[in-house]
Amino acid sequence: MGSLRNPIGPLPSSIYWRRRAVAASLIALLAMLIVWTVSSGGGGNGGTGDGDSANGSTPARTITPGPSQSGTAISEQPGGRDESGETGGSDGTGDGGGTGDSAGGDGGTTAGKNGDNVAGGAANGGAGGQQVPAGSSLPDCAPGALKLTLRSVEVAYGPGEKPAFHLVAANSSATTCKADFGPKAAVLTVTDDEDDAVWSSKDCPRAAGSLLLRVPAGASITHTVEWDRKRSAPQCATPPAGAVGPGTYLVEAAFPGVTVLPASFRLEKD
């Protein structure tokens, strides 16, 4: 123990004390390095203290997706409302044997064909409207109750295609009524770009009588007229010679007590 306190040797004791200090410092530094290595290798959890290991020893947490929303996906394209003007209401009573007509018109009872024009070839069918007999007790549509819209089914027709026109009648009143859509009551006329009449539904119809169609209250029906691209003349006279050529045409409708805006269409070249 005396040698530890007082080093014995040929050198001065101060040299031995320096050597001991250096050795003690090296031992302390080595111990610190060992402690730092152990702590850095086994830690790494960010000091959260929750016991989770950051070196992969704890399994990763899984994310469970929430419940999927139920319902039908939207598949229809936007902005696409039917231009024919049918409404969504319905009328539960009918005249002439029909009940429960759909107010949409196109999906309801279809009236039969009323014949073709001899010269004009117009099929005056009451598509979308139920035809009622002449003696029906259904009241006539009051003046101002109907609003009519005329449009061409297509903007342009290729060679051989027959132009078709939709006359949509909307009943704004609260009373179901009937209206005459016969070829001489609802008159459709086609004019060319020089404002010359080419064809009219009243010129020479095969069935010139009335075509009474039922118009449900608060709803609308669609009356369709087809033209076979032939010229016509009043009172079944011989029409002008020559076929109707390509170009832009105007179709107009005349209906008692109702103003109807015309519609344009084109006949394309071969």
In this predicted model, what pLDDT tens digit does every residue of 49-95 receive, in sequence order? 444 444 444 455 555 544 444 444 433 333 333 333 344 334 444 44
Instruction: For residues 241-263, give the mean pLDDT.
Output: 92
DSSP 44: -
Instruction: For residues 18-32, give the mean pLDDT.
Output: 86
pLDDT of 205 > 70? The answer is: yes
CA distance 43 to 74: 53
Position 166: which residue type? H
Instruction: Please answer whether residues 129 and 105 qualify as being in contact, where contact means their C-beta atoms are separated by less than 8 angstroms.
Output: yes
The per-residue DSSP string of 80-146 comes to ---TT---S-EE---SSS--SEETTSTTSPPPPP--BBTTT--B-B-TTSEE--TT--SPBPPTTSE
pTM score, two decimals? 0.55
Calculate the CA 96 to chain-centre distance: 36
